[in-house]
Amino acid sequence: MTSDCLFCRIVAGEIPATVVHETDTTLAFRDIAPKAPVHVLVIPKAHHTDVVEIAKADPGLAGQVLAACAAVAEAEGLPEGGFRVIFNVGRNAGQEVFHVHAHVLGGRPLGPMVMA
Ligand code: AMP
């Protein structure tokens, strides 16, 4: 838990979130500013800054985050139509919250992968 980290505070229950899936090690909740009909953020409960850092520090936990993404997609009915999983890393990707999170997006055609 990092007290100045927004997503650690959601894990701690200090900031409300609409939780859609939870395991011992992961939490998934709806994005506050959804970019698609389904837009869920999947995080490890432990603090890691980004996908590169978690992959090096705890690859097993990184795999659990991916498994949670798959479970969320199933629960939201996304696999049939297809969906997207995005990890933003750093400045060029526009990462705003430095607690690793996967965006699970779907529910409509999502358009080109990278916006101009
Ligand atoms: P990123 O740009 O990859 O760091 O994405 C951060 C995401 O967190 C954005 O899509 C925000 O809309 C989302 N977000 C910020 N604050 C909250 C919150 N309190 N609850 C849910 N999602 C949030």
How many other CB atoms sit within 10 Å of the CB of residue 56? 10
- Say whether 86 sits in a helix, a strand or coil: strand
Residue 36 confidence (pLDDT): 97
Residue 1 confidence (pLDDT): 66
Give the mean pLDDT of 36-62.
98
Q: Which residue of 49, 96, 99, 115 sits with most ligand 1 atoms within 8 Å of its CB, as the best mutation to test the pocket? A: 96
Say yes or no to pLDDT of 19 above 70: yes
Say yes or no to pLDDT of 26 above 90: yes
Residues with CB under 6 A from ligand 1: 6, 15, 17, 31-33, 41, 88, 94-97
The per-residue DSSP string of 38-82 comes to EEEEEEESS--SSHHHHHHH-HHHHHHHHHHHHHHHHHTT-TTT-
Residue 114 confidence (pLDDT): 80
Give the mean pLDDT of 79-108.
97
Structural domains of the chain sorted by starting position, each given as residue range(s) with its CATH number in brackets: 6-106 (3.30.428.10)
Percent of the residues in the chain that have a pLDDT greater than 70, as a whole number: 97
Question: Across all residues in the chain, what is the average pLDDT?
Answer: 96
